[in-house]
Amino acid sequence: MSSPPSSPGGAQSSSHVSYSAMASSNQQKQIDRQQATIDRLALQLKQVEAECLKQKLENQDYHAIVRRLRKENTSLTASASDADKRLKDQQNWAKQIEATNQDLTRRSIRDEVRLRDMESELGELQRREEEYKALLEKVR
């Protein structure tokens, strides 16, 4: 008859070590998965930051274009009909640029909110990673 796991025959420490090793392995796998998620989110975060920066630069370009067009409109010296046609064309262009700029601004705001959400999620994942590492250390 074999001795039960809690008997002093040594079976307990052997099974305890194997359960402990399995728990440690499972926790390490979970930490690895979370680290991969953190790495993926960090990459996404960098991509979103780059896109935000790109959109901010585009917004600045559009603002400069609008300012330049408005300044140019006030200094038109061509004939009345030609100046009027150019003025109307430039006003339409400025409206389109302003509409595009507003759209880019909305997207930039949305991306900034998404960036904050991702930063928050990253922080939570890092906090959980630290908890898992602490648990892993306790198991070891």
pLDDT tens digits, one per residue of 16-61: 667 777 778 888 899 999 999 999 999 998 998 999 899 888 888 8
pLDDT tens digits, one per residue of 1-21: 444 444 444 445 566 667 777
Level-2 CATH architecture, domain 12-139: Orthogonal Bundle (1.10)
Record the pTM. 0.35
The residues, ordered by sequence, that sit 6+ positions from 8 with a Cβ below 8 Å of its Cβ are: none
Report the sign of the C-alpha dihedral through residues 61, 63, 66, 68, in that order. Answer: negative
Q: How far apart are CA 40 and CA 48, in angstroms?
A: 12
Report the sign of the C-alpha dihedral through residues 76, 80, 86, 89, in that order. Answer: positive
